Homo-oligomer: A and B are copies of this chain.
């Protein structure tokens, strides 16, 4: 066996490989209107942690699958995440001019193209899922379950439902339970999807899927509470956006409800509970997923 990569190298390699794969799914000479292709590409390549693709790859590998088999679905989930950011940033929603230090999609391409680029990325995500079968031989039944999971966890009962609740929350109707709903759906569901999808590519059993679902829920909530914390305390340079924007927008956050100390404690507890669930999943090798959980808790941006 080759010597084991450090976690930092593993992270960098995976991020780089996913970014390369993303370039290939939207080819330079694609027969679509140029402005649409450019707008799709712009936001896909605007940086970001590639956390969701990383989880797809790490979950697939934890089950013993080849990482290349996971790339098409890794691209799919990054497209869904990217479309959701483009639509969230629109004037009718959060009305943000910058994301990750770059102009938002509609500031560059105009609102109409931004809406349609989002629509096209969401649609193309499902194309990418099917390609995991065409290219890497992932079985049809597993792919259909991935399509089903994606449509549920990214849809009305998942991410989009969380976004609607978030918007309504901004109109001042939020309590902690509502905030938890928002976090679990708006952010958590796509994290859960990534883990389930990777696991399905690796041929996971129902029991393993269930354990990974719990891992994903706890990890997703911890991730989002950490985001709330970093938004109040983080370094603007590292975050690539104005911090304290939640305060300025009167957006309620975990620290708002339970205070900073208790929020930090929640992140620790949820991360531990996530890792416990992972320990029960009896995966072939869960070490990278464990490292990812620790990494997310430690991150400063």
A binding-site residues for B, Cβ under 8 Å: 30-33, 35-37, 40, 83, 87, 90, 92-93, 110-113, 115-116, 118-120, 122-127, 129-130, 133, 140-141, 143-144, 147-148, 150-152, 154-157, 160-161, 163-165, 167-168
Contacts and interface: CB of A to CB of B under 8 A. Distances in A.
A33 B181 CA distance: 11
Contacts of A83: 119
Q: Which of A93, A124, A155 has the most CB of B within 10 A?
A: A155
A177 to B, nearest CB: 14
A123 B40 contact: no
A83 B165 CA distance: 20
* Minimum-distance CB pairs A-B, first 7: A92-B111, A127-B151, A123-B155, A140-B140, A120-B156, A126-B151, A32-B156
Given A122-B119, A126-B126, A35 B164 contact: yes
Nearest to A152: B127
A115 B112 contact: no
B115 A90 contact: yes
Given A32-B161, A123-B122, A160-B123, A112 B167 contact: yes
9 contacts: A32-B156, A32-B157, A33-B168, A119-B160, A123-B150, A127-B155, A129-B147, A140-B143, A144-B147
Nearest to A118: B119
Q: Which of A30, A36, A152 has the most CB of B within 10 A?
A: A36
A116 B151 contact: no
Contacts of A90: 112, 115
A39 B37 CA distance: 29
A37 B160 CA distance: 11
Given A33-B168, A35-B164, A161-B32, A123 B154 contact: yes
Given A124-B155, A161-B32, A130 B115 contact: no
A83 B115 CA distance: 12
A164 B33 contact: yes
Given A30-B157, A83-B119, A143-B144, 20 more contacts: A32-B157, A33-B168, A35-B164, A90-B115, A92-B111, A92-B112, A112-B167, A113-B164, A113-B167, A116-B163, A116-B164, A119-B160, A120-B155, A123-B154, A123-B155, A123-B156, A124-B151, A126-B151, A130-B144, A144-B144
A278 to B, nearest CB: 27
A122 B120 contact: no
Contacts of A150: 123, 126
